[in-house]
Amino acid sequence: MTKNVNERAADNIRILSMAMVEKANSGHPGGAMGGADYIHILFSEFLRFDPADPEWINRDRFFLDPGHMSPMLYSVLTLTGHFTVDDIMQFRQWGSVTPGHPELDLKRGVENTSGPLGQGHTMAVGAAIAERFLAARFGRLFEHKTYAYISDGGIQEEISQGAGRLAGHLGLSNLVLFYDSNDIQLSTETSAVTSENTAAKYKAWGWRVMEIDGHSHDQIRGALRLAGDENERPVIIIGKTVMGKGLIDEAGKSFEAKTSTHGQPVTHAGGSFKKSVANLGGDPEKPFEIFPDVKQLYEEVLAGKSAASAAWKKKKESWAAQNHDAARQLNDFYSGVIPEIDFAAIAQKENDATRNASAVILSHFAGKIPNMIVASADLSNSDKTDGFLKKSKPFARGDFSGAFLHAGVSELTMAAVMNGMALHGGVIPACGTFFVFSDYMKPAVRLAALMRLPVKYIWTHDAFRVGEDGPTHQPVEQEAQIRLMEHLKNHHGENSMLVLRPADAPETNIAWKLALENQKTPTALILSRQNIKTLPSEGKPRIEAAAMASKGAYIVTDAPGKPDVIMIASGSEVATLVEAAALLAAGGIRSRIVSAPSEGLFRTQDESYRHSVITPGVPVFCLTAGLPVTMQGFAGSDGRIWGLESFGSSAAYNVLDEKFGFTGENIAKEVSKLEQSAVASRQSPVKTSRQSPVYSRQSKPVGSRQSTVGSH
């Protein structure tokens, strides 16, 4: 039977997909082959993009959820000219632009990094919200679709619950999700793990559900046309497809619908690569060939896409000529221009909790930053993101004129949605919850770091001082975990995340300034539940002194001459050091207090500045309400750390301070022991020199409620 050019194009995608995996001797061919029909029809006939301008702001977005199906995406993007045949021949190789799972690469048409199932389509929800937000402000000219592609595994991931609920609740009619339902997953058939009615589930969430033959081009077109006309509900197209469509074995028998073809080359799975290529109309000796008729088809497709985008840009020029201010603002939104904000002029209460200080700043942002979107996971009145909400209003079905997202109790969903907003562009996403619940968010936080997305995380209730709620709500290990992202480099050689734990309200102003200015990586703000005494300032207003927080660590107070000990902490523990310093001074011990909101920032400063803050040869005492390892980079080889090595307990926070030894009196006692030990060491005939702590990256994490000496 003679196939038409669209069927040939889908088969070409199948051949290229399995050829990539075969040559790399690694990858997932089966699903890519099953999805070829849909991806071809979508990209050639429905998806709006500009071949010459891959970052065109009004392009339709396509989010791939199952990153293991990258061969399918790379194949269709080769037909569109985003990749070359040489590119896909280097699939999964060192230095290749075609990694095993797609990584964000807008110039080549890859809208998102994908791999961890469920996150890709949830990012699409965020992008769809960003589109609604922008269209509400600039008009229908700026409307476009967001398409997402999900597999059986993504449907099973728990995050799909949050994404489905949220999109349905908000009525995101600009969102079209294709569910590639092939009944096969990596190790089993799906019937071994689930018997749910997926269509009924999405209907219950308020989606428009269509069920089609995922290989019928006419049915795919029909569903996509209906999806394009939908204006009230998000759309899910459930396409029944066949894993490994077109595969045969050496005997020429069908080798379709096999679990084995999910995650290994066709030959390893038991099929015949060469006979399958021939079965699909290709040349087994030239499996990377693009069929001449398919090449011609895509040349015509690209010409049409170019003409359509050019026509839209002319309309935008006319719009801009009539809407000068709006056009300037739109350009600012997409260019990352931030309105001028005088952070020193934002007044804060004395001795306030840093979460409250954050609320003051967010309230200011609501009136100053028109493209900021803030979200909370059902904690806005506690994480104090309501400072922003009170000056805006929440998103609702059919109304995106506000700028606040009630994400519900779904921290991971919220984090992935924020990633999608950042990927869409034009908005500044920030989200809040309790710090202990950052555990739910870490998979999406990691992808944000990998993609260099400037999402702002507002994590409050930062330590055991949460108090009566007890150990389930008291972070201990979380700060050490998240600060590891300051050590992990992204592919541009930058710290993959900026982590800030301000010591008082004025320092919170500076932390937010740094967060807003950071457009290269995600930023975490770790904030207190309880009030914190405003730190002393010598000879200048506290807000001016706090500006030094931009260095990552700085001297708050210092002793005349050379100090006997340097005390370092972040967050509310710095105020405890101030109490201890007064007691130490009464006993003749001269101390320097250092606030260290970001070790990562401090590590990037030049050596002379680092040594001016942490003077070599002076004993160092570090205080943390988290694991002692949190401060190991500051303590160095000879320093001492007072931290927490157990879960917290349920009691008032001031009781816990006393029980855990986080009082000025106890810290003064422990610092005295360190200073006495240092004096004894200096009098010893064996001399040792203290190494600069910022180089102590291999030091072992030693510490407990009792102060201990770190060692290499």
Residues with catalytic function: 411
Q: At 641, phi and psi to the nearest 5?
A: -125, 130
**Integer Cα distance of 60 and 147 in angstroms:** 7
DSSP β-ladder status, 208-213 and 708-709:
unpaired
| Cβ neighbour number for residue 367 with a 10 Å cutoff | 11
Rounded to a whole number, what is the largest CA-CA distance in the chain?
Answer: 96
3-state secondary structure of 677: helix
Structure tokens at 499: 């982590």
Tell the burial category of 538 from Cβ atoms under 10 Å away from its Cβ (0-12, 13-18, 19+).
exposed
Task: Give the residue among 80, 17, 35, 36 at the shortest CA–CA distance from 54.
Answer: 80
What are the start-end ranges of the E strands in 118-193?
146-151, 175-181
Of all helices (H) and strands (E), which one includes residue 708?
A: strand 708-709
**Integer Cα distance of 365 and 233 in angstroms:** 31
The dihedral over CA atoms of 227, 229, 234, 238, expressed in degrees to the nearest 10, equals -20
3-state secondary structure of 694: helix
Contact 634, 695 (CB under 8 A): no
**Integer Cα distance of 362 and 454 in angstroms:** 17
Q: What pairs with residue 178 in β-bridges? A: 149, 237
Task: Give the residue among 27, 94, 37 at the shortest CA–CA distance from 66.
Answer: 27
| Cβ neighbour number for residue 309 with a 10 Å cutoff | 19
Question: In angstroms, what is the C-alpha Rg of the chain?
Answer: 29
Q: How many helices (H) and strands (E) does the chain have?
A: 28, 17
DSSP state of 426: S
Q: How far is CA 672 from the centre of its chain?
A: 43
